């Protein structure tokens, strides 16, 4: 393999005068790696796309929006926000499916220094209430499903302005207390001219909390732009390494990408990675109402999609679909998987079954505004169990439980430091201090780094289930289960699953004399936590759950024993 050439490409691209030259800058008092030529803020990124005015930007079902039309609507939204008193530093929340309006609202807000609160579309009314109280946005843009859920909040936030997106017309008139989105953009307008601090919040994305409450991660303008440059570097370095090894130069001006986004925009996978990179390249973003492999194949053929990204199960369902063999997928050049580790067998299946496309993946976190590592093509096929090398804007190391760096090749918790690491968690100084030490983010993932700098994720230190790209923290589910009066104790863990990577499982001990069945427990949880967090597998135990000497549940031992019983039928 071309590992020497990859190292040479990195040196050329990140050294003095390189397109991705790395320098040291100070952020929050900590020296970190950053790109010399990075854009100053997300506003600059969005405004730069005026150059693509005539190209198609957004496609959703039968709708098509050019960059020029998108800019007109973004400007109108920004003007409406300013007229309504929303100022730089304020927050605006979005709770909806992946409609085109999601991105239009996002670009309008961040271009004005307003932080976007990306609300998980799966949240129950109780979870929505927590997020709104925690982030305190001035305005909430929401679709019909989220509006119905919002109506279920016992005590809605006072003074919160609601804007309805794609609400059905009712004979009784507009929804009371809700401004239709059409009114927001009706009068057009000009985007206000504002200066943005690179370390100001661009968005607040929630990640499930180990204490039972989600944490609002503060993704800054600097962090989001750094992640974009990480994405661009990943493609450039791989292409340059192949060129050095083969002597074959890539196309001087490749056609704009057409990317099918399949995961929610309130996650960094779709937003910071998929949408940012495609927008910066003047490409087309195709959106889906919900994931369906057959519909995705139809869209790929119709729109001549060049890249599709999502959690690994989506790629597997795509190539296993009965229509795959008869669908023209020759436009595809890349199939990527993120949000969960790509199983090695899937890497080879993509390589073998999609003649025009190469497999790729990125490993990252909300707390790094996107990717930490990236790997694709020959390098991924050669090391299918690897997540790839860390991007050059990071320092990376593996440490022991005391925080001491372990020797190369040995296993430890992965820590990273760089300009893309979040500022912290809103309203959670203790959680911030526990997660970030002198700029080093504790990923909670156990890893090793090989001689070529490629990182291998071998386990998770955190008590977390990774279900189809969604983080499900055991403590959060346990906290909800303990609210049932019949439950004495419970322990949540991940159960291996071929489709989703993991499913949520739980062992439950009931109080003496109490009765409860699986269906009733799931129904109870359905009103408290999002449906993807509700355990698929439930074991009612006749005896107390195993604990260690300090009284903590032996989660891994319990998981392994019950998962083996499940596998044995």
Percent of the chain surpassing pLDDT 90: 74
Residues 6+ apart with CB under 8 A from 431: 209, 211, 215, 424, 425
pLDDT digits (tens, 9 = 90+) for 451-474: 999 999 887 777 788 898 888 888
Confidence (pLDDT) at 200: 98
Confidence (pLDDT) at 128: 96
Confidence (pLDDT) at 175: 84
Q: pLDDT band at residue 314, thresholds of 50, 70 and 90?
A: confident
Q: Is the pLDDT of residue 480 over 80?
A: yes
Confidence (pLDDT) at 311: 79
Q: Report how far residue 440's alpha carbon sits from residue 272's, in angstroms, rounded to the nearest whole number.
A: 21
If one counts every other C-beta atom within 10 angstroms of the C-beta of residue 235, the result is: 17
Mean pLDDT value across residues 46-71 = 98
pLDDT digits (tens, 9 = 90+) for 379-419: 998 998 899 999 999 999 999 989 999 999 999 999 999 99
pLDDT digits (tens, 9 = 90+) for 66-96: 999 999 999 999 999 999 999 999 999 999 9
Please provide the average confidence, as pLDDT, over all residues in the chain. 92
Confidence (pLDDT) at 219: 98
Parallel, antiparallel, or unpaired for β 454-460 and 440-449?
A: antiparallel
What's the half-sphere exposure (Cβ side, CA atoms, 13 Å) at 388? 31
Largest CA distance in the chain: 75
Q: pLDDT band at residue 212, thresholds of 50, 70 and 90?
A: low
Q: pLDDT band at residue 44, thresholds of 50, 70 and 90?
A: very high
pLDDT digits (tens, 9 = 90+) for 291-310: 999 999 999 999 999 999 88
By the 10 Å C-beta count (0-12 exposed, 13-18 middle, 19+ buried), 541 is classed as middle
Confidence (pLDDT) at 569: 66
Confidence (pLDDT) at 514: 92
Mean pLDDT value across residues 137-156 = 96
Q: Is the pLDDT of residue 552 over 90?
A: no
| Contacts made by residues 8-12, CB under 8 angstroms, sequence distance 24+ | 8/241, 8/244, 9/236, 9/237, 9/238, 9/240, 9/241, 9/244, 10/237, 10/392, 12/240
pLDDT digits (tens, 9 = 90+) for 321-357: 999 999 999 999 998 877 767 777 788 888 888 889 8
pTM above 0.75, yes or no: yes
If one counts every other C-beta atom within 10 angstroms of the C-beta of residue 401, the result is: 8
């Amino acid at each position: 393999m071309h590992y020497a050439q990859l190292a040479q490409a990195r040196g050329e691209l990140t050294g003095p005068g390189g397109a991705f030259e790395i320098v040291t800058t100070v952020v929050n008092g900590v020296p970190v790696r950053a790109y010399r030529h990075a854009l100053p803020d997300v506003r600059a990124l969005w405004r730069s796309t005026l150059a693509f005015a005539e190209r198609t930007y957004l496609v959703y079902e039968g709708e098509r929006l050019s960059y020029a039309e998108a800019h007109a609507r973004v400007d109108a939204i920004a003007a409406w926000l300013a007229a309504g008193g929303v100022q730089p530093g304020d927050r605006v929340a979005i709770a909806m499916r992946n409609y085109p309006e999601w991105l239009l609202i996002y670009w309008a807000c961040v271009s004005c220094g307003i932080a976007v609160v990306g609300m998980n579309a799966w949240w129950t009314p109780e979870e929505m209430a927590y997020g709104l109280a925690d982030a305190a946005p001035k305005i909430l843009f929401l679709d019909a499903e989220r509006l119905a859920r919002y109506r279920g909040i016992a005590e809605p936030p006072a003074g919160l302005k609601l804007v309805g997106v794609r609400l059905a017309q009712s004979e009784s008139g507009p929804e009371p207390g809700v401004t239709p989105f059409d009114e927001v953009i009706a009068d057009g307008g000009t985007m206000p001219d504002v200066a943005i601090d690179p370390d100001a919040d661009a968005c607040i994305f929630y990640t499930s909390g180990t204490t039972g409450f989600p944490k609002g991660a503060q993704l800054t303008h600097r962090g989001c732009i750094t992640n974009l440059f990480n994405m661009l570097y990943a493609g450039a370095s791989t292409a340059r390494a192949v060129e050095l090894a083969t002597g074959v130069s890539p196309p001087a001006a490749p056609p704009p990408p057409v990317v099918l986004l399949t995961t929610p925009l309130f996650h960094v996978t779709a937003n910071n990675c998929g949408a940012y990179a495609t927008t910066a390249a003047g490409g087309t973003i195709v959106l889906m109402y919900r994931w369906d492999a057959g519909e995705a194949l139809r869209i790929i053929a119709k729109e001549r999609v060049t890249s599709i990204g999502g959690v690994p199960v989506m790629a597997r369902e795509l190539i296993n679909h009965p229509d795959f063999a008869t669908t023209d997928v020759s436009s595809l050049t890349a199939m990527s998987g993120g949000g969960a580790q790509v199983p090695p067998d899937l890497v080879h299946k993509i390589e073998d079954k999609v003649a025009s496309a190469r497999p790729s993946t990125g490993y990252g976190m909300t707390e790094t505004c996107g990717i930490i590592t990236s790997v694709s093509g020959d390098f991924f096929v050669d090391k299918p169990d690897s997540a790839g090398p860390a991007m050059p804007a990071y320092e990376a190391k593996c440490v022991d439980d005391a925080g001491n760096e372990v020797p190369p090749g040995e296993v430890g918790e992965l820590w990273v430091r760089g300009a893309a690491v979040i500022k912290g968690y809103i309203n959670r100084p203790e959680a911030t201090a526990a997660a970030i030490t002198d700029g080093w983010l504790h990923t909670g993932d156990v890893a090793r780094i090989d001689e070529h700098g490629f990182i291998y994720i071998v386990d998770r230190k955190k008590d977390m289930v990774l279900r189809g790209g969604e983080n499900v923290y055991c403590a959060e589910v346990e906290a909800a289960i303990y609210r049932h009066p019949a439950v004495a104790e419970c322990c949540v863990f991940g159960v291996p699953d071929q489709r989703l990577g993991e499913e949520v499982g739980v062992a439950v001990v009931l109080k003496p004399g109490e009765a409860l069945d699986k269906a009733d427990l799931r129904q109870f949880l359905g009103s408290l936590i999002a449906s993807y967090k509700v355990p698929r597998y439930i074991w009612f135990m006749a005896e107390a759950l195993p604990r260690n000497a300090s009284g903590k549940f032996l989660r891994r031992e319990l998981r392994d024993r019950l998962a083996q019983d499940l596998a044995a039928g």
